[in-house]
Amino acid sequence: MRFIPLCLLLSLACAAAPAGAAICPAPKTLTFKVEKEVRRTATGFTEGLEMHDGALLESTGDFIGETRINRIDPVTGRVTTLANFGKRYFGEGLTVFGGKLYQMTYTEHRVFVFDDKLRPLPELANPRQGWGLTHDDTQLIASDGSSRLFFLSPDDFKTKRVLPVINNDRYVENLNELEYVDGAVWANVFEDWNVLKISPRTGCVEGSADIRSLRLRMRPDERRGIDADPNFVPNGIAHDPRTGLFTLTGKYWPVLFQGRFVEN
């Protein structure tokens, strides 16, 4: 699944940005300060995570388990499955925009759309792989595992703008789960323990937080669980505008970490 060249395991990117690309200053070093840990009642292969109406909505993939849309209580960790699609397709990024819930698939090029009662609406087509999905005030924002962000029409998923993401002078490959907060895009990088803060105007990485300390906050049995499979990587960023708290997690992680990013 999603084979990653060795050089990508050693750094955020393999390819230097070409001449004429954005000149980006060095990103600020950020720390994720945990304020609360919530243990979920059931784990999932987390592909998308978003706060909506006081609860976390989660899209899971079927590489391990099933493709589902879950509701997670951010206080108790109680997981309720709202929809279970089995292994008919591989669920990926999820976001709620304009009263509609959008869920991408990995390689099937399908975008499922639901109303606020989770009733299906006409689906859309995605010409690329589906990885992460979020939105700003006017449009959807998606990743496809490359170094680019795609700004899309919520009506037909047509591409309005493509933005390369650069850290210093190098492209950032394998952009994954996304969350848009206060004029910035926050991103997981597949198989990397850094969460990036990206300017949606320039594509420059403005901040980077190493979240390896979250693993150390888990109980020994929980660490053994996520260490048992290389697919159980960090993935999942949600933000609650009411409290200002971010929620971070990973694939089949038993814990949701709530906190804030602060500059060092």
Instruction: Tell me whether residue 36 is in a domain.
Output: yes
Structural domain contains residue 5: no
Q: Is residue 222 in a domain? A: yes
SS3 state of residue 119:
coil
pLDDT in tens, the chain (264 residues): 443 443 344 344 446 766 556 689 999 999 999 999 999 999 999 999 999 999 999 999 988 889 999 999 999 999 999 999 999 999 999 999 999 999 999 999 999 999 999 999 999 999 999 999 999 999 999 999 999 999 999 999 999 999 999 999 899 999 999 999 999 999 999 999 999 999 999 999 999 999 999 999 999 999 999 999 999 999 999 999 999 999 999 999 999 999 999 999
Residue labelled with tokens 């300390």: 213
> How many CA atoms within 13 Å lie on the side-chain side of 201?
5
Q: CA separation (Å) from 227 to 65, 190, 215? A: 18, 16, 10
Main-chain phi, psi angles of 216, to 5 degrees: -70, -20
Q: Is residue 34 part of a domain?
A: yes
Query: Under DSSP, is residue 223 helix (H, G, I), strand (E, B) or coil?
Result: helix
Supply φ then ψ for residue 195, to 5 degrees: -100, 130
Q: Say how many domains are in the chain.
A: 1
Q: Is residue 18 part of a domain?
A: no
Give the residue numbers spanning the domain of 97: 24-263
Rounded distance between C-alpha atoms, residue 54 and residue 78, angstroms: 13
Instruction: Give the CATH number of the domain where residue 151 resides.
Output: 2.120.10.30
Residue 137 within a domain = yes
Q: Locate 147 and state its tokens.
A: 């170094």
Is 11 a domain residue?
Answer: no
- Quote the CA–CA distance of 153 and 166 in Å, as a whole number: 24
- Angle value at C-alpha 113, between 110 and 114, nearest 5 degrees: 145
Residue 209 lies in a domain: yes
203 near 152, Cβ under 8 Å? no
Dist. CA 43–CA 199, nearest whole Å: 32
Closest CA to 177 of 104, 236, 98, 219: 236
